[in-house]
Amino acid sequence: MSTCILTSGAPKRIGFISTRFQGTDGVTLEARKWAEILSGLGHSCFWMAGELDAPPKVSLQSPLAYFNHPEVAEVQAKLFGVAFRTRAITNQIQSIKERLKDDLYRFIEKFQLEVLIPENILAIPMHVPLGLAMTETIAETTFPVIAHHHDFAWERERFTLNAVNDYLQAAFPPLLYAMEHVVINSMAQKELARRFGIPSQIIPNVLDFETPPPGFDEYNRDLRREIGLKEDDWFILQPTRVVLRKGIEHAIELVRRLKDPRAKLVISHPAGDEGSAYMAMLNDRIADAGIDVRFIADRVGETRGTNAQGRKVYTLSDVYPHADLITYPSQYEGFGNAFLEAVYFGKPVVVNTYAVYARDIDPLGFKTIEFTQLVTGDVVEQTWQLLQNAALRAEWAKINYQLGVKYFSYTVARRKLAARLANLFGEGV
């Protein structure tokens, strides 16, 4: 694909801003992908967040930008689940906002930025003062902005009752001059237009489908043995955090109904920050089902190495090649990174038809086993047949990978980002 639309003009100095750029959360991962694409086209990328793992020479850490900073957490706890706020709380918000604006201006000046990319901080009000600070900075500087929205307040029940609706209307998101809005699915695009009259473009989550996935090597070849699985076991991978909306009870039910001792459910990620009740419920379900479930979060990390017990730590890219089947029974997703990862690594998927999947992904023709809230006998039979049929799994993998290249590759994001920059700077960029 020709990239002249981006490379014919002067490279830009682009600043990514969020509460956190660290770890493997969806916002961090997608921001890194955008930066990789933009850097490959000659642009320079810089980072500002409360927590970040970028090198100091290209980043500015602002501790107050982190949503779990004690001062921020204290004020945020007073804003939701209630209908009113006091003047003292307003003053707290404004005080934090002003200090964050100082950091934003410092970030812009330090790296002589020309474009700003706020990552989700103008969409979901996890950090109200930061959203306000970002909005006012954009309004005051008229900087060109590509606002990347992953989740919105109206998509989360916990934000429904709040004492900051005036701020939500002003900054989550704002409608300002020289500002491109990007969402990750068509439902968000329609709701943003309906609720705020704000036009937006869709850039879905992507993977580097142009580069073949890593496979087995000397480091990861022993993973099955390390987690206690035999070579002829069915490695059924649930590659998500343990939180309620991931619907892991459906994966447990599927494995139970397969009624085959070879079927082993492997959960790769830890529990989230939503309390322990869901994990307790899953443990009860597992005990009642009498199935073999392995929680391996202590063996999976961002990089290879060893854990506190001196045991090998693998990356998710080490885990996927071993899997025979991926379960993805989420009740809600903004997009679905785990689905793309399964397609990338050539693995069949059992997927709950959550709304974004049903509207934006399913019509594209991916070969999957689908269910809607209920693991039916037909779903169990399809899964059993697929696990027995290596040739069919290979056929599905080929079809799905080709669709991944077509719809969710870096090439797709590169073209769409080029259009956003062209809108801001003209076609010479």
∠ CA 17-131-420, nearest 5°, is: 55
How many CB atoms are located within 10 Å of the residue 215 CB?
13
Return the pLDDT at 198.
96
**Are 241 and 200 found together in one domain?**
no
Q: Which of 265, 266, 200 is nearest to 420 (CA)?
A: 200
> Nearest CA to 26 among 334, 331, 343?
334
pTM for the model: 0.91
Residue 213 covered by a domain: no
Within a domain: 74: yes
DSSP codes, 323-382: -SEEEE--S--SS-HHHHHHHHTT--EEEE--HHIIIIIGGGT---EEESSS--HHHHHH
- C-alpha 358/C-alpha 33 separation (Å) is 25
Helix (H, G, I), strand (E, B) or coil at 289: helix
Contact 128, 93 (CB under 8 A): yes
Q: Are residue 154 and residue 25 in the same domain, yes or no?
A: yes
- Cα gap 234→293, rounded to integer Å: 12
> What pLDDT does 271 receive?
84
- Clarify whether residues 56 and 170 are in a common domain: yes
Give the number of domains in the chain: 2
Residue by residue, pLDDT tens for the chain (429 residues) are: 333 444 435 789 999 999 999 987 889 999 999 999 999 999 999 999 999 999 999 999 999 999 999 999 999 999 999 999 999 999 999 999 999 999 999 999 999 999 999 999 999 999 999 999 999 999 999 999 999 999 999 998 899 999 999 999 999 999 998 899 999 999 999 999 999 999 999 999 999 999 999 999 999 999 999 999 999 999 999 999 999 999 999 999 999 999 999 999 999 998 866 668 999 999 999 999 999 999 999 999 989 999 999 999 999 999 999 999 999 999 989 898 999 999 999 999 999 999 999 999 999 999 999 999 999 999 999 999 999 999 999 999 999 999 999 999 999 999 999 999 999 988 654
In whole angstroms, how far apart are CA 69 and each of 88, 96, 98? Answer: 19, 11, 16
Identify the residue whose tokens are 């961090």.
28
Q: Is 376 within the bounds of a domain?
A: yes
Same domain, 390 and 418: no
The pLDDT score that the predictor gives to residue 177 is: 87
Q: Is position 212 within any domain? A: no
Q: Which residue has the tokens 């070579």?
A: 231
Residue carrying the six token digits 């050539």: 346
Peptide bond into 173 cis (omega under 30): yes
Decide: residue 91, CB within 10 A, 0-12 exposed, 13-18 middle, 19+ buried.
exposed
Residues 150 and 333: beta-carbon distance below 8 Å: no
pLDDT for 273 equals 63
Indicate whether 266 belongs to any domain: yes
Verify that 148 and 101 share a domain, yes or no: yes
- Radius of gyration, alpha carbons of the chain: 22
User: Would residue 215 count as lying in a domain?
Assistant: no
Q: Quick one: 401 and 417 in the same domain?
A: no
Range of the domain at 400: 223-407
Eight-class DSSP state of 312: E
What CATH number should be reported for the domain holding residue 22?
A: 3.40.50.2000
Assess if residue 217 is contained within a domain. no
Distance CA 134, CA 150 (A): 16
| 147/195 same-domain check | yes
Residues 194 and 258 both lie in one domain = no
Q: 113-123: b or e for each residue (b if 16 or more CB lie within 10 Å)?
A: bbbbbbbbbbb
Provide the 8-state DSSP code for 324. Answer: S
96, containing H or E segment:
helix 87-111
Whether residues 243 and 175 share a domain: the answer is no
Residue 119 lies in a domain: yes
Answer yes or no: do 174 and 285 share one domain.
no
Instruction: Kindly state whether residues 171 and 233 are assigned to the same domain.
Output: no
Residues 418 and 403 in one domain: no
290-314 exposure pattern, b = at least 16 Cβ within 10 A, e = fewer: ebbbebbeebbbeeeeeeeeeeebb
